[in-house]
Structure 1
Amino acid sequence: MPADHDDADRFYKEFGKHLHDARSNAGLSQESLGAAVGLNRTSISNIEKGRQRLLVHQLPVLARVLGVSVGDLLPAAPNTDALRGLSGVDRDAIAAIRQAGSAATES
């Protein structure tokens, strides 16, 4: 498996852990979170395990339902190993999402 694929897998596994932790802290089941955001329980489970990728438009919906910022769900920093294998476009999208999340929490 190419290194870029391994890095993307690490990113999604770390994202899944953040999602799991936020869901648990919110006291929600996978089923109730899925219903609130338009996904089924299996999808939430697979996203939490890093097996299923999330569409970017679903990220702010998840954050809003969980009562966290988008940045709270993303891996710590754009230059971590978890992001190393992502393309420049993906890195730019993550940076823009983080910036938008920061601006929203500052307002």
Structure 2
Amino acid sequence: MLAVIHHTSTNRSPRTLDALAAELADGRYWLAQKLIVAKGRTRRFAGAFAIARKPELIEFLAGAIDRGDLREMLIAAEWTDGEPNLVVHVGEDGSFAIHTPASARIGP
């Protein structure tokens, strides 16, 4: 997921959760909640990881926003080979950025 964020060809920023939901296809999504733990010079991922269907994902995000408990996370559409066709970066402030890898670019 991070590779897609770092090597993006397209970046869209839906302003609302409803706008984000409209851009996501039905299906399953992988969520990785950002929490990095550092001990000395060693850093490791300690966040939560989950898989959810689109309705569950939207419901989870809406609840977190309503409670004021939204955490930074990456969300990727489920994939089987290589990299996901899109990754959504969710900010703690409720911002959304949709990143599409260069390999998924459409057109010239």
- Using structure 1 for the length normalisation, give the TM-score: 0.27
> Which has a greater percent of strand?
2
> Which has a greater percent of helix?
1
